[in-house]
A = this chain, B = another copy of it.
Amino acid sequence: MNGAEALIRTLVNSGVEVCFTNPGTSEMHFIAALDSVPEMRAVLGLFEGVVTGAADGYARMTDSPAATLLHLGPGLGNGIANLHNARRARVPIVNIIGDHATSHRIYDAPLQSDIESLARNVSGWYRSSATTAELAGDAADAVAASHQPPGQVATLVLPADVSWTEGASPVAARPRPVANEVSGDVIDSIAKVLRSGEPAALMVGGRATRERGLLAAQRVAAATGAKIIGETFPTRLERGAGLPAIDRLGYLAEFAMAQLAGLRHLILVDAKSPASFFAYPNKPSDLVPDGCKVHVLASGSDDPTAALQTLAEALGAANADIELQNAVRPDRPTGDLTGETIGNALGAVLPDGAIVADESNTSGLWTSGATAGVPRHDWLTLTGGAIGFGMPVATGAAIACPDRPVISLQADGSAMYTLQALWTQVREDLNVTTVIFNNRSYAILNLELSRVGVETPGPKALSMLDLSNPDIDFVALATGMGMAAERPETAEDLTDALERAIAEPGPHLIEAMLPGRW
């Protein structure tokens, strides 16, 4: 068998069963070998940002990597932004980057570039496979590397001749790396801090925002009076009725500082010490209040969930009574479409087990509150700040969880970065309902313009934030990619449309026109 087939079989042996692809000539042997390995599902994206974002969404829902298949340096370049988000989400992904044949590199052909420097930008592990004999082992190493806690992007470069040469054999999966147990000394010192009675908070992020971690954190909080604060942009937050309800740290530093005010101890659980997203003139970037000490319970390759559970035991709180979120839904909204009525529509109809990919930005201010008490669901957010993540991540999440409805909350400006994801959703008949919040603006930038101190922007500046000339018609764009789409004009109609779209199999898009800039 050739290198390509041994590579794909090794990926399957290692638990990788989905490959998101956007191939070119140098990847044709990989493509041809797909038919020899029925266990590997191949999903085509029309742009690499769709491919890498889908792999991110898949990994967030399965804790296991999908593969990507990308075409040399420029193909990887197009996928960099969503790989940046995946790097910040700390999820496992295995990139397979096709390269020129090793003998071809001396010619500096048009598509040649420095793949390694691009790949290392977003990858915790990188290798270029040198020979067909080594390829399968390299692939097994790549999958194992992607699982290195907390999870990381692993990139394997596949030269065309390494792929097409015969004589390869697949190999078995490598042992999967396991997370470190946090030491008793660390647990004891954090327990001591929490017993001091001084104002304290647990800052919970990364892998700790799932049910088990949140329950343990809630028990710690119940026993000690500590607050729980979720990181601003969680990779995957499990929430809803019956789970602990946690507030996320505000994106706006002004709100975040209010949440943190008065704390004497901040305990990081797979989260970073809070800093503002951007810097602003004459404002501090560091959001930790004066006099507040920062402690680390778990980070990097530690197991944060186990650490929280051990901490709860150390505090005698393993069976503490805790308050869980009540089941509550907003009423079906009426009247005009606003951020608030759309949020309430979502709260009114979100079904049990939904997955929400949230890139609603300013318009989505109300969605989190309106859905706090609806049936249990997962909330995926923009971990790395590179917009264009929402529709690809929704796509990957739907591939990962075919039996769960996926809701893609999408701001108009961000939607235009990776719109091609809609095509893949149609091709794969995915249960994704996209809600476009169309305010015809980069609304966040209108807000940020004043926050950075620009009091009276001129017409040229404002035109750079304005998406109304020309207006974008997302119903037409979705229809152009074969997707059922509609534009309800009242909150009642939007609620009905949302309910119908979620109930019907296959993808749908609902465009909500919003007044004002934000």
Task: Tally A residues with Cβ within 8 Å of B.
Answer: 101
> Does A183 interact with chain B (Cβ within 8 Å)?
no
Nearest CB in chain B: distance from A97 CB, A:
13
How distant is the Cα of A470 from the Cα of B423 in the complex, in angstroms? 7
Contacts of A73 in B (CB 8 A): 80, 84, 121
How distant is the Cα of A30 from the Cα of B424 in the complex, in angstroms? 37
How distant is the Cα of A169 from the Cα of B73 in the complex, in angstroms? 39
Q: Is the CB of A279 within 8 A of B469?
A: no
Contacts of A445 in B (CB 8 A): 23-25, 28, 31
Q: Mark A467-503, 1 if CB is under 8 A from B, else 0.
A: 1011111111101111100000000000000000000
How distant is the Cα of A518 from the Cα of B161 in the complex, in angstroms? 26
Contacts of A419 in B (CB 8 A): 419-420
Residue from the list B100, B120, B413 in contact with A279, Cβ < 8 A: B100
Given known A-B contacts A469-B427, A480-B473, A31 and B110 have beta carbons under 8 A apart: no
Q: Is the CB of A107 within 8 A of B470?
A: no
Interface residues of A in 405-444 (CB under 8 A from B): 413, 416-417, 419-420, 423, 426-427, 444
How distant is the Cα of A476 from the Cα of B277 in the complex, in angstroms? 38
Residue from the list B77, B277, B465 in contact with A110, Cβ < 8 A: B277
Number of copies: 2
Interface residues of A in 30-72 (CB under 8 A from B): 31-32, 34-36, 42, 44, 46-47, 49
If A107-B286, A109-B276, A475-B480 are given as contacts, then 15 extra A-B residue pairs at C-beta distance below 8 Å, sorted by A number, are A35-B459, A46-B413, A46-B467, A73-B84, A104-B278, A107-B272, A107-B275, A111-B386, A164-B452, A416-B420, A419-B420, A470-B483, A474-B480, A476-B476, A479-B480
| 18 residue pairs A–B, Cβ–Cβ below 8 Å | A25-B448, A31-B449, A31-B457, A32-B454, A32-B457, A35-B457, A35-B460, A74-B386, A88-B110, A107-B285, A117-B121, A423-B470, A427-B469, A470-B481, A472-B480, A472-B481, A479-B480, A480-B480
Cβ-closest 5 pairs across A and B: A35-B458, A470-B482, A77-B80, A476-B480, A74-B386
Q: Which A positions have Cβ atoms within 8 angstroms of B?
A: 21, 23-26, 28-29, 31-32, 34-36, 42, 44, 46-47, 49, 73-75, 77-78, 80-81, 84-85, 88, 100-101, 103-104, 107-111, 113-114, 117-118, 120-122, 160-161, 164, 233, 272-273, 275-279, 281, 285-286, 383-386, 388, 413, 416-417, 419-420, 423, 426-427, 444-445, 448-449, 451-454, 457-461, 463-465, 467, 469-477, 479-483
